[in-house]
Structure 1
Amino acid sequence: MYIFVDISPLCGNTNLGLGALLFYRERMAGGIAGPKSCFAVVTPLMKKSPAQILVVLVAVNSQKEAVRIGEGMVNARLAACANIITGVQSIYHWKGKVVKAKEVLLILKSTRLRYRALERAIKTMHTYETPEIIALPVKEGFEQYIGWVCEETHS
């Protein structure tokens, strides 16, 4: 079953979220509105999609820094959850040298909608000159967890 919702006032905005499909009258057989009207088709597929979720990896200098950033992101609702993994051994090139360092890995669960704000907030709190902030898309996930991440980040 499809539900057609007239969203003519929003036709100029193609970023409607949740994958709303827009259909202009010209493309609808037997359309029922004027030539400039458009519709959102709401289907059962418009549930919270795993593709909206990001796992964000952030390497930090210490557990204290990881807790500070993690709590900040969760409190600001930029992330639904923060996991902290200590004892990470990193090896990388930095300023012409190979560096070996003990780091802490902060793993954040967020959404595409909140990512840019999350990245900006992390950069303001991070002690590194060039912090590792990498977002990985989630391909599959437990539907209730996906919904929870979206709800907690107001996405």
Structure 2
Amino acid sequence: MERPLLVYTTFPDADTALALGEVLVRERLAACLNVLPGMRSVYAWKGVVERGEEVVALIKSREALAEPLIAALKRRHPYETPVILTLPVGAEPATLAWLVAETGGTPA
């Protein structure tokens, strides 16, 4: 049985996130990428506390695609070390069916 996957990552700006999202959707590694602009971050990087403005991207996919999706993100992401958090989640049946259909999976 297919299981949904939500991937959380950040980008320097919405255009970069949307461009990469389009690639992931076209390659059927993701059914959708949502971009949430206006995030302000405080983070530690190489021993220094930094502040910056970023956007959040939430990627809707399925667990079976986790490895190729992460590999594609790492290859194309502009950050040296992108934050990529994978979150297994539940889904309403029609949402799961759409997600599976759009990512080339086998319906349950």
Question: Is the TM-score greater than 0.5?
Answer: yes
Q: Say if 2:4 and 2:91, in contact at 8 Å, map to a contact too.
A: no
1:83 corresponds to which residue?
34
Matches within 5 A, 1:132-151: 132-138=83-89, 140-151=90-101
Q: More helix by proportion, 1 or 2?
A: 2
Shift of the alpha carbon at 1:64? 1.3
Q: Say whether residues 1:63 and 2:14 are aligned partners.
A: yes
Consecutive unaligned residues of structure 2, counting only runs of 5 or more, are none
1:30 corresponds to which residue?
none
Shift of the alpha carbon at 1:68? 1.0
For residue 28 of structure 2, give the secondary structure of its aligned residue in structure 1.
coil
For residue 114 of structure 1, give the secondary structure of its aligned residue in structure 2.
helix
* Structure number with larger C-alpha Rg: 1
Shift of the alpha carbon at 1:58? 1.1
Q: What are the superposed Cα offsets for residues 19-62 of structure 1, whole Å, 9 maximum, x if unpaired?
A: xxxxxxxxxxxxxxxxxxxxxxxxxxxxx5xxx10110110111
CA RMSD of aligned residues (A): 1.0
Percent identity of equivalent pairs: 36
Shift of the alpha carbon at 1:141? 2.1
Question: Whole-Å Cα distance in 2 between the matches of residues 55 and 90 of structure 1?
Answer: 21
2:49 to 98, 101, 115: 98
Query: How many residues of Structure 1 are paired with residues of Structure 2 in the alignment?
Result: 105
Deviating runs (4+, > 2 A) in structure 1?
Answer: none
Matches within 5 A, 1:1-155: 18=1, 48=2, 52-138=3-89, 140-155=90-105
Q: Say if 2:30 and 2:103, in contact at 8 Å, map to a contact too.
A: yes
Question: Whole-Å Cα distance in 1 between the matches of residues 84 and 28 of structure 2?
Answer: 17
Shift of the alpha carbon at 1:127? 0.8
Question: Whole-Å Cα distance in 1 between the matches of residues 85 and 100 of structure 2?
Answer: 19
Shift of the alpha carbon at 1:90? 1.1
Letter in 1 for 2:101: E
Consecutive unaligned residues of structure 1, counting only runs of 5 or more, are 1-17, 19-47
Question: Whole-Å Cα distance in 1 between the matches of residues 54 and 34 of structure 2?
Answer: 14
Normalising by structure 1, we get a TM-score of 0.65
Normalising by structure 2, we get a TM-score of 0.92
Select the structure with the greater relative contact order (CA < 8 A; seq sep ≥ 6): 2
